Amino acid sequence: MYKKLLIWNREFDLRVVFDSYDEEVLPIQEQALEAFLKAENTIQESKKQLEKYILNDEYAEIEGNSIDNIFKYVIPTDIYILRTPETRTVALLCDYRFDEEHGIAIVFENEQFKEIGEQDIVL
């Protein structure tokens, strides 16, 4: 399944992946997806946190101390819905220019920014 989503003023057609352990998708996971798709402001605001993460990454090779085009470094690829019993937890998985092996996960809990790290934090 794919969903269109506006991320940092650019539209993406992202693959939706449910963490389901080959079991039935939980109702809270479906709710998490629907709520996340409507959380435009939260997604937009996560860009500031992402820029801060990249600027603090010791392996990032960025000229200057600001990012003029986030898409030079990060491309969203998937919406990953975690299997959590009590919270709506969604990660925006992205390819990351400075860590192609691990990428970046931007994690949201109950439609609020939670954390950024390598995709391993959610996978």
Reported as a single tens digit per residue, the pLDDT across 17-28 is 999 888 899 999
Rounded to an integer, what distance in angstroms lies between the CA atom of residue 37 and that of residue 22? Answer: 24
- Cα 40–24–85 angle (5° rounding)? 60
Residues in Cβ contact with 117 at an 8 Å cutoff, skipping those fewer than 6 apart: 104, 105, 107
CA distances from 118 to 10, 56, 98, 105, 123 (A): 23, 14, 11, 6, 9
Domain residue limits at 116:
2-121
Q: What is the pTM of this model?
A: 0.94
Reported as a single tens digit per residue, the pLDDT across 56-65 is 998 888 887 8
Place 6 in a pLDDT band, splitting at 50, 70 and 90.
Answer: very high
Residue 89 is given by DSSP the state E
What whole-number percentage of the chain has pLDDT above 70? 100
Residue 36 has a pLDDT of: 97
**For the residues 31-44, what does the mean pLDDT come to?**
96
Residue 61 has a pLDDT of: 87
Domain count, the chain: 1
**For the residues 60-82, what does the mean pLDDT come to?**
92
